[in-house]
Structure 1
């Protein structure tokens, strides 16, 4: 009688587990074929039948209740083995040309493919088996949306500044070095620690046209870079300049 394979785990006093190790007779056959390095497409039926029946005999000797499908496979193996031992008829038909093992080989190959596919699916990480989903509650904050500035109001404010600058224009000609970037820095310094400043505060009462133009360009550049926002509470109202850093920190 053949010994129980060593690579199968059978707990003490629980030989019933042996049969449950396999998913059915095809699984047992595939195990025997792979264990003894047999070729599925050229199964040595005599050897395979002997191995299979030895395992079935182990079950019966230990008084395990065999499923009907295991006994049915025993009968099928004996039939295939017997058909292969019969002499070939002199007058052969198409059915005689068929290998008696063909159907069994097809079933074994299909079963192996399905088993491999099932193993690949089982290897995919599964929730609650291989990992647990973690939920992190993040407090949602609603950003305060500032009212948009009317373009016409901004244009009118600009025209007012230019007119005022022309009125206060100095007649003494001096060389003035004006930088948009430096005026951007000045505006940000004026906003430091303050919620907002009024639009007109950016332009001194004695500022000339050139300085007004550069300051206005600096303000537009800050808006473009999302460093400040301009808003007004109502049409034709006061225009405010606010730092986005102050808005996000509130």
Structure 2
């Protein structure tokens, strides 16, 4: 939608998404496993998204005591010049809620709800023949929810990697299981430095670099990824 505030647009998009899922006999709380929120002028418009998402998720029973959804909230430029928010979602049908397990890496990260946002750090999806780990947008953050290494792109990148690796460790995976990475940069001048670091660290993983500011001005970089590892889960259907 291209009308209203970031709060109003987020609310509208989530209501419409729930209606769409209903058409397929699905719900946000049981079937949605991943979201992406692209925010025009994220430094000023992100707060409206945060409040609207929190209110909507609460209506669907998504709370700190139940679960949220793996997500990325990042700067973006929707095609409609009046649109402040663009929403992308991934939902699965024929999938039991108990096939999901949430990843926290509590030695390195805190729960997002502790600083007022509502998404999971990562989600492990268990199928009969494999496990998928969906890692949300992850930055250089510590277990108090604070930005680590303000102003230092190299140190922020390394801390970000460490956080992602700890999340994957909880899923009994490593970056050797990663099948794709998306990197979000606030400043295009950091591209060559970061590209070189990724080529050295993860030379065989397909990686896309984008110019997209992270949701806090002090964060210079964020990444998300998906990892897949073969498994034998006899209780579940194959992917």
- Structure label with greater radius of gyration: 1
Which TM-score band (shorter chain)?
under 0.3
Which has a greater percent of strand? 2
Which has a greater percent of helix? 1
Provide the TM-score with structure 2 as the length reference: 0.24
Higher relative contact order (CA 8 A, sep 6+): 2
